[in-house]
Amino acid sequence: MIPAIIVCAYLALVLYIGIFAFRRGGAGTAEEYFLAGRSLGPAVFLLSLFGTNMTAFTILGSAGHAFGNGIVTFSLMASASAFVIPLTLFFMGTRMWALGKRHGFMTPVQMFRDRWECGHIGTAIFAVQAALLVPYIVIGVMGGGTALRGISGGLVPFWLGGAIVAMVVMSYVFFGGMRGTAFVNTFQTVLFLTFGAIALVVIGRGMGGFPAAIESLLASPATAPLLTRERISPWYYFSYTFIPLSTIAFPHIAIFCLTARRMVQFKRTVIFYPLCILAIWLPCVFLGVAANSLRDVPQIGQKLEARASLAALPASAPAEERAALRRQSAGDDVVLVMLDRFAPLWLAGILGAGIMAAVMASDSQILALSTMFTEDVFAFYGGKVRFGEQVQVQTGRLFVVLLTILAYAIALRAPQGIFDLAVQYAFSGYAALSPLLVAALFWKRSTKWGALAVTLWVAVAVIYTSQVPGALAWYGLLPVVPMTVISSILMVAVSLATPPPSPDTVRRYAL
Amino acid sequence: MNRLLLAAVVTALYLLHQDVWFWREARPLVFGFLPVGLAYHGLYCVAVSLLMWTLTRIAWPAHLESSPEDGTRDVRR
């Protein structure tokens, strides 16, 4: 009960920060509400950008994935991201910032429309981006439900936990906009970086030391492979390096790049980003793996039994039975179980708040979708001219409320684990959309028809891969590889076959 | 020359992510508990940070910070 109370106090503090930032925000213009007036300082820019990327998936999903798959989780997602994300920020984020400053756009679609002289094609890109972002928001709500249920020892059910998290996030995004969201993210990142290290030490001591835990895993043929990558093929492993391409293509990251006061703020961000990833992911992955040694903890013992039953299941076993065992063996809550077991109550509460911090990263996605809707649809189709900027901002706030309700409704019905849901739809889709950004920023000859071809292909590919198991998994690669390669080929081929934008437009985008 | 060298370093670091040499090995355990494959990728993150520091020192696109005198317009409606 004490941890749950501390977490509630934390949620109240987060609300205060969000609303406080709103009061200090100044004029209620769209640029202020959606982009914090393009005025974020260096520390907030780094910590908030990192916090935006640190989601329920990072903490609960990564530990859960490591629980079932071992140390490979770190190199699949964390170190690959540590390499790709700073590079994309360095090469693409800085250009977007400069163009945003020069031309005043607030969303990627505004840039695409202007860069490729198109209107409705931009709307098509918006539709695909929005559809792909919703699952990412859903995992935030799901993570909130899972985390609060775990922290309260089951006292707060999943549906209520998800509802509380959704309400808190919705409230500070509603009142605080980008400035409130950025300050909350900064606070959350600092909290997690500080207390994550304490969690590692406390849990390690509670387990009797990590060396003993790891030796016990190595001694068992069932768990020793978790400490290597022998269960995964090098091609599959390689294909994971394509997934972080999604980051710069995510609208909330692209939009966030526009909030920096000066471009020099990207410098610290790209240097420290890999170190932040190391500081957050390594403990999560390690704890997820080490949890396999806790066979005497009932919740973990049941998961290990379910995993063994799943492995022994004949191929002819019903799909429902397989799915049920997979659910029972899922490790999304192992870090919470370990905290409950080894941390004193007050510390478990603070650490639980830290986990909530990561879980609540869906704020940026909600705000980004609201920004996109009001700028790319409402304003583009005349709403701003007809009703004024104040109504535009209020429309954005209404959109925040509706979107949160939708995400919550989906989260209550979603059948898959956090990790699968995120990877299958959002990450792969956005990685395959990244050629749009590359072409807009670097290739003068790119055209709107090339952009449309990429957008339609991504929409079809995402639907196809979500409906047909194993689709596009060629030669043991993840579908994200063929999806991204085909996107790139379509961008080049269709652009070369269609007329380029006017020389004046091309000149305005020359950097 | 600098650009070519930096491109080569970036490519090399990308290839170093595919560390097949530690694929089936858990030992040695770094600090007595970190499997070598995990410790390698921890160090890899530090190496990427150093690469990014180098890029910001040598290849920082400073020209992007200055606004052009013409061609500026607000694309928002």
Tens-digit pLDDT profile for residues A29-40: 888 888 888 888
Over residues A15-28, the mean pLDDT reads 69
Domains of chain A: 2-294+331-417 (1.20.1730.10)
Q: Does A271 score more than 70 pLDDT?
A: yes
Whole-angstrom Cα distance, residue A325 to residue A313?
A: 10
- What does each C-alpha distance from A454 to A65, A92, A131, A429, A449 come to in angstroms? 31, 19, 15, 11, 9
**Per the structure block, which two tokens stand in for A382?**
């005349």
| Interchain pair B35, A273: CB under 8 A | no
Q: What is the pLDDT of residue A386?
A: 86
Q: If you measure CA to CA, which chain A residue comes closest to B48?
A: A83
Q: If you measure CA to CA, which chain A residue comes closest to B21?
A: A229
The residues spanned by each domain of chain B are: 2-59
Whole-angstrom Cα distance, residue A343 to residue A371?
A: 41
Q: What is the pLDDT of residue B1?
A: 56
Over residues A266-280, the mean pLDDT reads 94
Over residues A319-323, the mean pLDDT reads 84
Whole-angstrom Cα distance, residue A78 to residue A72?
A: 10
Q: Please state, for a pLDDT cut of 70, what percent of chain A lies above it.
A: 94
**Given CB atoms, is A380 within the 8 Å cutoff of chain B?**
yes
Backbone angles phi, psi at A260, to 5 degrees: -65, 140
Whole-angstrom Cα distance, residue A50 to residue A10?
A: 20
Q: If you measure CA to CA, which chain A residue comes closest to B46?
A: A275
Flag the least confident range among A79-83, A260-264, A453-457, A493-497.
A260-264
Over residues A194-208, the mean pLDDT reads 84
Q: Does A239 score more than 70 pLDDT?
A: yes
Q: What angle do CA A152, A153, A159 make, to 5 degrees?
A: 65
**Given CB atoms, is A86 within the 8 Å cutoff of chain B?**
yes
| Interchain pair B77, A385: CB under 8 A | yes
| Interchain pair B26, A218: CB under 8 A | yes
Q: Which residues of A touch B61 (CB under 8 A)?
A: 94-95, 511
**Given CB atoms, is A501 within the 8 Å cutoff of chain B?**
no
Q: Does A435 score more than 50 pLDDT?
A: yes
Q: Which residues of B touch A382 (CB under 8 A)?
A: 77
Q: What is the pLDDT of residue A469?
A: 79
For the stretch A307-316, pLDDT in tens is 999 888 888 8
| Interchain pair A380, B48: CB under 8 A | no
Q: Please state, for a pLDDT cut of 90, what percent of chain A lies above it.
A: 44
Cβ within 8 Å of residue A9, ≥6 positions away: none
Q: If you measure CA to CA, which chain B residue comes closest to A104?
A: B74
Q: What is the pLDDT of residue B70?
A: 46
- What does each C-alpha distance from A110 to A122, A272, A335, A372 come to in angstroms? 8, 30, 41, 9
Cβ within 8 Å of residue A262, ≥6 positions away: B65
Query: Are the CB atoms for A214 and B35 separated by under 8 Å?
Result: yes
Whether the bond into B28 is cis, omega within 30 of 0:
yes
| Interchain pair A230, B48: CB under 8 A | no
Q: What is the pLDDT of residue A247?
A: 92
Q: Which residue has the higher pLDDT, A115 or A323?
A: A115
CA A125, chain centre distance (Å): 19
Q: Does A418 score more than 60 pLDDT?
A: no
Q: Which residue has the higher pLDDT, A265 or A146?
A: A265
**Given CB atoms, is A338 within the 8 Å cutoff of chain B?**
no
Q: Which residues of B touch A507 (CB under 8 A)?
A: 71
Q: Which residues of B touch A376 (CB under 8 A)?
A: none
Q: What is the pLDDT of residue A216?
A: 94
Over residues A131-150, the mean pLDDT reads 79
For the stretch B1-40, pLDDT in tens is 578 899 999 999 999 999 989 899 999 999 999 999 999 9
Q: Which residues of B touch A274 (CB under 8 A)?
A: 45-46, 48-49, 52
Distance from CA of B16 to the nearest CA of A (A): 11
For the stretch A52-86, pLDDT in tens is 877 666 767 788 899 999 999 999 989 999 999 99
ipTM of the complex: 0.91
Residue A312 burial (CB count, 10 A): 9
Could you please report the per-residue DSSP string of A174-202?
Answer: HHHHHHHHHHHHHHHHHHHHHHHHHHHHH
| Interchain pair A213, B33: CB under 8 A | yes
Q: Does A419 score more than 50 pLDDT?
A: no
Q: What is the pLDDT of residue A257?
A: 94
**Given CB atoms, is A261 within the 8 Å cutoff of chain B?**
no
Q: What is the pLDDT of residue A214?
A: 95
Among B44, B55, B71, whose Cβ lies nearest the Cβ of A79? B44
Q: What is the pLDDT of residue A424?
A: 65
Q: Which residue has the higher pLDDT, A410 or A417?
A: A410
Query: Are the CB atoms for A260 and A49 separated by under 8 Å?
Result: no
For the stretch A340-387, pLDDT in tens is 888 887 777 777 777 777 667 778 888 898 999 999 999 999 888 888
Flag the least confident range among A113-117, A118-122, A397-401, B27-31.
A397-401
Distance from CA of B11 to the nearest CA of A (A): 11
Q: What is the pLDDT of residue A229?
A: 93
Q: Which residue has the higher pLDDT, A146 or B48?
A: B48
For the stretch A169-184, pLDDT in tens is 888 888 888 888 898 8
